[in-house]
Amino acid sequence: MAASGLALRRNTAPMDRRLRAVDGLYADVPYSYAAIAPAGSTVFTAGACPLDEDGRVVAPGDVEEQARVAIRNLLAVLDAAGCGAGDVVKTTVYVASSDRADLATAWREVERAFGSDGPPGTLLGVAVLGWPDQLFEIEAVATLPG
């Protein structure tokens, strides 16, 4: 039972998303341009933050560890909604840094969770995120089988 009181379906297998390359666009990119999801319910997550169970930001100053914790939190949210990493059709990743090395570090953790052939994703370097000392946030769109 979800916190809202709604019962959520459990998914036992990843959905059958189709990842698409696009003719005329640069083909040697480390991501998919689009994912086509089959009919079913769509799950939109809030941004998952690198917070522990007491609401404290973990690992201030450490993009890699914050990414791991936030992704673990995202996967817990997806599980509660009845889906998992294989059901994600889009991610958006925010890194509070203008250093491309920090963005690359964060993206390696995203690929570790979703695979290098994972869903389309957007990676953004931003000035600041919502929690003090927060460097990483990730949100996802996923689908449940129909």
- CATH at 92: 3.30.1330.40
What's the first-to-final CA gap in the chain, in angstroms? 20
Domain assignment present for residue 133? The answer is: yes
The answer to whether residue 139 sits within a structural domain is yes
Structural domain count of the chain: 1
**Structural domain of residue 108, as residue ranges?**
40-143
- Whether this prediction's pTM lies above 0.85 is answered by no
Is residue 63 in some structural domain? yes
Predicted confidence at residue 29, as pLDDT, reads 64
Instruction: From first to last of the 146 residues of the chain, give the pLDDT tens digit.
Output: 344 333 444 444 555 666 556 666 667 766 666 666 666 678 888 899 999 988 899 999 999 999 999 999 999 988 888 889 999 999 999 999 999 999 999 999 999 999 988 899 999 999 999 999 999 999 999 988 55
At 97 the pLDDT is 98
Three state DSSP letters for 14-69: CCCCEEECCCCCCCCCCCCCEEECCCCCEEECCCECCECCCCCECCCCCHHHHHHH
DSSP run (H or E) holding 110? helix 100-114
